[in-house]
Amino acid sequence: MTQVTVLDYGMGNLRSVAKALEAVGASVSIASTVPDGGSDLLVVPGQGHFGACVRTLGDAQLDAIRAWIAADRPYLGICLGLQLLFASSEESPEPGTSIIDGNVVRFRDAPKVPHIGWNQITPGPAGDTWFGSLDGARFYFVHSFYPAPTDATLTAATSTHGETFCAAVARGPLLATQFHPEKSGDAGLALLERVVKAAA
Protein backbone atom coordinates (compact mmCIF):
# COMPACT_ATOMS: atom_id res chain seq x y z
CA MET A 1 0.00 0.00 0.00
CA THR A 2 1.32 3.43 -0.95
CA GLN A 3 2.39 5.42 2.12
CA VAL A 4 1.41 9.07 1.77
CA THR A 5 2.35 12.01 3.96
CA VAL A 6 0.10 15.09 3.83
CA LEU A 7 1.97 18.14 5.09
CA ASP A 8 0.09 20.11 7.72
CA TYR A 9 1.19 23.74 7.98
CA GLY A 10 -2.21 25.12 8.94
CA MET A 11 -3.39 26.20 5.48
CA GLY A 12 -4.97 23.18 3.82
CA ASN A 13 -8.19 21.22 3.83
CA LEU A 14 -6.31 18.27 5.29
CA ARG A 15 -9.20 16.01 6.18
CA SER A 16 -10.75 16.20 2.70
CA VAL A 17 -7.38 15.55 1.08
CA ALA A 18 -6.64 12.60 3.38
CA LYS A 19 -10.08 11.04 2.92
CA ALA A 20 -9.84 11.30 -0.88
CA LEU A 21 -6.40 9.66 -0.85
CA GLU A 22 -7.63 6.90 1.44
CA ALA A 23 -10.58 6.35 -0.88
CA VAL A 24 -8.19 5.43 -3.70
CA GLY A 25 -6.19 3.00 -1.58
CA ALA A 26 -3.45 5.05 0.09
CA SER A 27 -2.30 4.80 3.69
CA VAL A 28 -2.23 8.44 4.83
CA SER A 29 -0.47 10.18 7.67
CA ILE A 30 -0.64 13.90 8.42
CA ALA A 31 2.60 15.48 9.60
CA SER A 32 3.88 18.96 10.40
CA THR A 33 7.29 18.26 8.82
CA VAL A 34 8.48 16.71 5.58
CA PRO A 35 9.39 13.10 6.39
CA ASP A 36 12.97 11.84 6.12
CA GLY A 37 11.82 8.40 5.03
CA GLY A 38 9.03 5.87 5.23
CA SER A 39 6.76 7.71 2.82
CA ASP A 40 6.25 7.10 -0.88
CA LEU A 41 4.45 10.35 -1.70
CA LEU A 42 4.52 13.85 -0.23
CA VAL A 43 1.32 15.86 -0.63
CA VAL A 44 1.42 19.61 0.02
CA PRO A 45 -2.09 21.11 -0.05
CA GLY A 46 -3.00 24.68 0.77
CA GLN A 47 -5.49 27.43 0.25
CA GLY A 48 -5.21 31.11 1.04
CA HIS A 49 -2.40 33.64 0.64
CA PHE A 50 0.95 32.90 -1.04
CA GLY A 51 2.98 35.01 1.39
CA ALA A 52 1.34 33.43 4.42
CA CYS A 53 2.06 29.99 2.97
CA VAL A 54 5.77 30.73 2.50
CA ARG A 55 6.11 32.38 5.92
CA THR A 56 4.23 29.61 7.73
CA LEU A 57 6.25 26.82 6.15
CA GLY A 58 9.49 28.62 6.92
CA ASP A 59 12.96 28.06 5.52
CA ALA A 60 13.47 24.62 7.05
CA GLN A 61 10.36 23.07 5.52
CA LEU A 62 10.82 24.86 2.19
CA ASP A 63 14.35 23.45 2.06
CA ALA A 64 12.98 20.01 2.94
CA ILE A 65 10.49 20.25 0.06
CA ARG A 66 13.33 21.26 -2.28
CA ALA A 67 15.39 18.29 -1.10
CA TRP A 68 12.45 15.88 -1.51
CA ILE A 69 11.85 16.98 -5.10
CA ALA A 70 15.58 17.14 -5.91
CA ALA A 71 15.79 13.48 -4.88
CA ASP A 72 13.16 12.71 -7.54
CA ARG A 73 10.62 11.51 -4.98
CA PRO A 74 6.89 11.64 -5.83
CA TYR A 75 5.26 14.96 -4.96
CA LEU A 76 1.70 16.20 -5.29
CA GLY A 77 1.04 19.91 -4.79
CA ILE A 78 -2.48 21.29 -4.57
CA CYS A 79 -3.29 25.00 -5.02
CA LEU A 80 -0.67 26.75 -2.84
CA GLY A 81 1.30 23.50 -2.97
CA LEU A 82 1.64 24.25 -6.69
CA GLN A 83 2.30 27.97 -6.41
CA LEU A 84 5.12 27.68 -3.87
CA LEU A 85 7.15 25.73 -6.47
CA PHE A 86 7.67 28.94 -8.45
CA ALA A 87 10.07 31.82 -7.96
CA SER A 88 7.56 34.47 -6.97
CA SER A 89 3.92 35.51 -6.92
CA GLU A 90 2.22 38.77 -7.82
CA GLU A 91 0.17 38.23 -4.65
CA SER A 92 3.06 38.84 -2.28
CA PRO A 93 6.75 39.87 -2.17
CA GLU A 94 7.93 36.69 -0.44
CA PRO A 95 10.04 34.46 -2.72
CA GLY A 96 8.92 30.96 -3.61
CA THR A 97 11.18 27.94 -3.86
CA SER A 98 12.20 28.37 -7.53
CA ILE A 99 11.92 24.62 -7.99
CA ILE A 100 10.21 25.42 -11.29
CA ASP A 101 11.24 28.49 -13.29
CA GLY A 102 8.46 31.01 -13.66
CA ASN A 103 6.09 33.10 -11.58
CA VAL A 104 2.56 33.10 -10.26
CA VAL A 105 0.42 35.80 -11.88
CA ARG A 106 -2.98 37.37 -11.36
CA PHE A 107 -5.88 36.89 -13.76
CA ARG A 108 -5.99 39.82 -16.15
CA ASP A 109 -8.88 39.03 -18.49
CA ALA A 110 -11.14 36.92 -16.28
CA PRO A 111 -14.84 37.77 -16.10
CA LYS A 112 -14.75 37.39 -12.31
CA VAL A 113 -12.00 37.04 -9.73
CA PRO A 114 -11.59 34.91 -7.73
CA HIS A 115 -12.31 32.07 -10.12
CA ILE A 116 -14.55 29.73 -8.13
CA GLY A 117 -16.25 26.66 -9.51
CA TRP A 118 -15.99 23.80 -11.97
CA ASN A 119 -13.98 24.12 -15.16
CA GLN A 120 -12.92 21.75 -17.90
CA ILE A 121 -9.25 20.97 -18.34
CA THR A 122 -7.26 20.17 -21.46
CA PRO A 123 -4.09 18.05 -21.17
CA GLY A 124 -0.89 19.96 -21.86
CA PRO A 125 2.53 18.84 -23.14
CA ALA A 126 3.42 17.17 -19.81
CA GLY A 127 -0.07 15.81 -19.20
CA ASP A 128 -0.23 12.44 -20.95
CA THR A 129 0.60 10.37 -17.87
CA TRP A 130 -1.85 12.15 -15.60
CA PHE A 131 -4.60 13.54 -17.83
CA GLY A 132 -4.52 11.36 -20.96
CA SER A 133 -8.08 10.10 -20.51
CA LEU A 134 -9.36 13.14 -18.61
CA ASP A 135 -9.51 15.57 -21.53
CA GLY A 136 -12.60 17.70 -20.96
CA ALA A 137 -13.08 16.49 -17.38
CA ARG A 138 -14.24 19.13 -14.93
CA PHE A 139 -12.29 20.02 -11.80
CA TYR A 140 -13.01 22.41 -8.95
CA PHE A 141 -11.06 25.69 -8.74
CA VAL A 142 -10.83 28.43 -6.11
CA HIS A 143 -8.11 30.97 -6.98
CA SER A 144 -7.20 34.48 -8.13
CA PHE A 145 -3.66 33.63 -9.29
CA TYR A 146 -2.16 30.90 -11.45
CA PRO A 147 1.33 29.70 -12.37
CA ALA A 148 3.13 30.73 -15.54
CA PRO A 149 6.04 28.31 -16.05
CA THR A 150 8.92 29.61 -18.15
CA ASP A 151 9.14 26.22 -19.83
CA ALA A 152 5.70 25.66 -21.33
CA THR A 153 6.48 21.97 -21.87
CA LEU A 154 6.03 21.48 -18.10
CA THR A 155 2.34 22.40 -18.41
CA ALA A 156 0.32 19.28 -17.64
CA ALA A 157 -3.14 20.84 -18.06
CA THR A 158 -4.75 24.11 -19.03
CA SER A 159 -8.16 25.58 -18.40
CA THR A 160 -9.95 28.74 -19.46
CA HIS A 161 -11.53 31.49 -17.38
CA GLY A 162 -11.62 34.50 -19.66
CA GLU A 163 -8.05 33.57 -20.55
CA THR A 164 -6.33 30.22 -20.95
CA PHE A 165 -4.14 29.46 -17.97
CA CYS A 166 -1.87 26.75 -16.63
CA ALA A 167 -3.93 24.49 -14.38
CA ALA A 168 -1.25 21.90 -13.58
CA VAL A 169 2.46 21.26 -14.04
CA ALA A 170 4.37 17.99 -14.12
CA ARG A 171 8.01 16.97 -14.18
CA GLY A 172 8.99 13.37 -13.59
CA PRO A 173 7.24 12.15 -10.42
CA LEU A 174 6.13 15.70 -9.56
CA LEU A 175 2.54 16.75 -10.25
CA ALA A 176 1.00 19.95 -8.97
CA THR A 177 -2.48 21.28 -9.68
CA GLN A 178 -4.15 24.66 -9.31
CA PHE A 179 -7.50 22.92 -8.90
CA HIS A 180 -8.54 20.79 -5.92
CA PRO A 181 -8.75 17.10 -6.90
CA GLU A 182 -10.11 16.25 -3.44
CA LYS A 183 -13.16 18.42 -4.22
CA SER A 184 -13.53 17.30 -7.84
CA GLY A 185 -15.70 14.18 -7.60
CA ASP A 186 -14.96 11.19 -9.81
CA ALA A 187 -12.44 13.00 -12.00
CA GLY A 188 -10.48 14.10 -8.95
CA LEU A 189 -10.47 10.59 -7.52
CA ALA A 190 -9.35 9.17 -10.87
CA LEU A 191 -6.41 11.57 -10.89
CA LEU A 192 -5.49 10.83 -7.27
CA GLU A 193 -5.63 7.11 -7.96
CA ARG A 194 -3.09 7.54 -10.76
CA VAL A 195 -0.82 9.57 -8.49
CA VAL A 196 -1.02 7.01 -5.69
CA LYS A 197 -0.37 4.06 -8.03
CA ALA A 198 2.56 5.83 -9.69
CA ALA A 199 4.17 6.44 -6.28
CA ALA A 200 3.84 2.83 -5.11
Per residue in 159-187, pLDDT tens? 999 999 999 999 999 999 999 999 999 99
DSSP state of 171: E
All domains in the chain, ordered by first residue = 3-199 (3.40.50.880)
- The CA–CA distances, whole Å, from 104 to 39, 142, 186 equal 29, 15, 28
Residue 24 sits at the vertex; the CA angle it makes with 23 and 25, to the nearest 5 degrees, is 95
By DSSP bridging, strand 115-120 and strand 138-143 are antiparallel
Is 79 annotated in the active site? yes
Choice among 115, 143, 161, 180 that is catalytic: 180
Is 161 annotated in the active site? no
Residue 39: the pLDDT is 97
Selection from 50, 107, 108 nearest residue 82 by Cα: 50
Residues 6 or more apart from 60 whose CB is under 8 A from it? Answer: none
For residues 128-146, give the mean pLDDT.
95
User: What percent of the chain shows pLDDT beyond 90?
Assistant: 94
Choice among 53, 79, 161, 166 that is catalytic: 79
User: What percent of the chain shows pLDDT beyond 70?
Assistant: 100
Is 180 annotated in the active site? yes
